[in-house]
Amino acid sequence: MADPSTSPPLTRASVQAALKLIEPYVHKTPVLTNTSLNRLASAPRTAAELEGTEWAGQTPAKPVLRFWFKCENLQKIGAFKARGAFHAIERLKLEPGWEENGGRERGVVTHSSGNHAQALAFAAQTSRIPCHIITPHSSSRAKISAARDTYGAHITFSGPTHPERQAVCDAVAAQTGARFVPPYNHPDIILGAGTAALELQAQFFASPNNNSGRRRLNAIITPCSGGGLLSGTALSCEGTGILVFGAEPSYQGADDARRGFYSGKRIEFVKSETIADGLRTPLGEIPWGVIYERRLVKGMYSVGEEQIKAAMRLVWERMKLVVEPSAVVGLAVALYNEEFRRMVEVEGGEEGWDLGVVFSGGNVDLEKVADLFA
């Protein structure tokens, strides 16, 4: 991958430049609204619904929410990851001497549980570059099958933790000479990921549902794993007045970014089997710098497994969209996390908030979906 020192600065202008670079290769995904979900989010939860939670016995929050869903589940390869992968490949091709020194023949390598694997494999295939993927044995079969069978990647399996993935990745890179393209911890990946939220901002203001452009987008919430999408989103909103929030699963400590954000220390190790399989990775060092050190993210929130499943079911049933569990964690926060909902109630008042929600992907195993909804 291109040397980070040669990457553009982490600014909103660089996200805008990244969008111009990748526009020929990615979809401008739609932004959808849904009256039914707006009503659900704007209705206070019942005492019975809060029973057994940390908010039991409290007066339910009464936020007013209008959702704007950025449907990256309809992106090429079914996830926002295509944006970062294409930006990384296009930046690599611009590196002086890369092709002359055999870079094209040696190819690229990465580790991923699925979506980044497909994205890099597709971007590499588009430029006729070999691609090596290191992935845990527990990864989604649908995602790995797509990377291997559809996009021609060479697959090597590893253990589930980040150190195990990275060790195998380093070995393959040493053997093949392939250039490592990290799934999130690189400026080029971050800037590419941020283009989704940049599009969302423009689509919101141009939408006929925006009362002739008189309302403003108050905030955007995205899932957070390694932090590429969240930090890129934060960069795209810098200086606009749009607040940015991160969402994570709480199961088995998968909310490492939230815990690190409020303790002031990045957590470097996570081992969780949350159903949101794309969010099992610890927050990277470079995204941490954007999210926490530069204070470009307003807050971090988490939800449980049942809440993620409930939000996923609502999207499938009410919006007729195929989304994966990782994609709906932000929506689940807005629907079920009383801390977030009370904050919206206080800050939004009677007018409420227009909230952008990034659906990060839609790659699921249908067999697993049947089990989730059984």
Domain spans, the chain:
12-78+190-372, 79-185
Identify the pLDDT of residue 1. 57
Identify the pLDDT of residue 160. 77
Among the residue ranges 64-78, 137-151, 231-245, the one predicted with the least confidence is 137-151
DSSP 23: T
Write down the mean pLDDT value for the chain. Answer: 93
Q: Kindly tell me if the per-residue pLDDT of 114 is higher than 90.
A: no
> Residue 275, SS3?
coil
Domain 12-78+190-372 has CATH 3.40.50.1100: yes
Q: Kindly tell me if the per-residue pLDDT of 156 is higher than 80.
A: yes
Q: Kindly tell me if the per-residue pLDDT of 108 is higher than 80.
A: yes
Task: Name the CATH topology of 79-185.
Answer: Rossmann fold (3.40.50)
Identify the pLDDT of residue 213. 63
**Which stretches does DSSP call E strand in 174-304?**
179-180, 219-223, 243-249, 299-303
Taking only the tens place, the pLDDT of each residue in 215-266 is 789 999 999 999 999 999 999 999 999 999 999 999 999 999 999 999 999 9
Taking only the tens place, the pLDDT of each residue in 182-210 is 989 999 999 999 999 999 999 999 988 87
> Cα–Cα distance between 239 and 82 in angstroms, integer?
26
Identify the pLDDT of residue 64. 98
> Cα–Cα distance between 207 and 18 in angstroms, integer?
23
Identify the pLDDT of residue 372. 82
pTM score, whole prediction: 0.94
DSSP letters, 86-147, are HHHHHHHHTSTTTTTTTHHHH-EEEE-SSHHHHHHHHHHHHTT--EEEEEETTS-HHHHHII
Max mean pLDDT range (93-107, 154-168, 256-270): 256-270
Identify the pLDDT of residue 51. 94
> Residue 246, SS3?
strand
Q: Kindly tell me if the per-residue pLDDT of 133 is higher than 60.
A: yes
Taking only the tens place, the pLDDT of each residue in 302-333 is 999 999 999 999 999 999 999 999 999 999 99
CA angle, 123 as apex, 73 and 119 as ends, to 5°? 35
Q: Kindly tell me if the per-residue pLDDT of 142 is higher than 80.
A: no
C-beta separation of 229 from 360 below 8 A? yes
C-alpha dihedral over 183, 5, 298, 334, to 10 degrees? -20
Identify the pLDDT of residue 209. 80
Identify the pLDDT of residue 2. 58
DSSP 79: B
Question: What amino acid positions are annotated as catalytic residues?
Answer: 81, 113
Proportion of the chain in helix, strand, coil states, percent, rounded to 5: 50, 15, 35
Identify the pLDDT of residue 140. 72
Are 12-78+190-372 and 79-185 the same fold in CATH?
yes
Q: Kindly tell me if the per-residue pLDDT of 211 is higher than 90.
A: no
Taking only the tens place, the pLDDT of each residue in 270-298 is 989 999 988 988 999 999 999 999 999 99
Please compute the mean of the pLDDT values over residues 35-41 and round it to a whole number: 98
Residue partners of 311: CB distance under 8 A and separation at least 6: 303, 328, 329, 331, 332, 335, 336
Please compute the mean of the pLDDT values over residues 75-94 and round it to a whole number: 96
Report the DSSP pairing between strands 31-32 and 65-71: antiparallel
Max mean pLDDT range (62-76, 145-159, 205-219): 62-76
Q: Kindly tell me if the per-residue pLDDT of 301 is higher than 70.
A: yes
Q: How far is CA 235 from CA 12, 32, 54, 238, in A?
A: 5, 23, 33, 5
Identify the pLDDT of residue 153. 93
C-beta separation of 191 from 235 below 8 A? yes
Structure tokens at 235: 């960069």
Identify the pLDDT of residue 175. 94
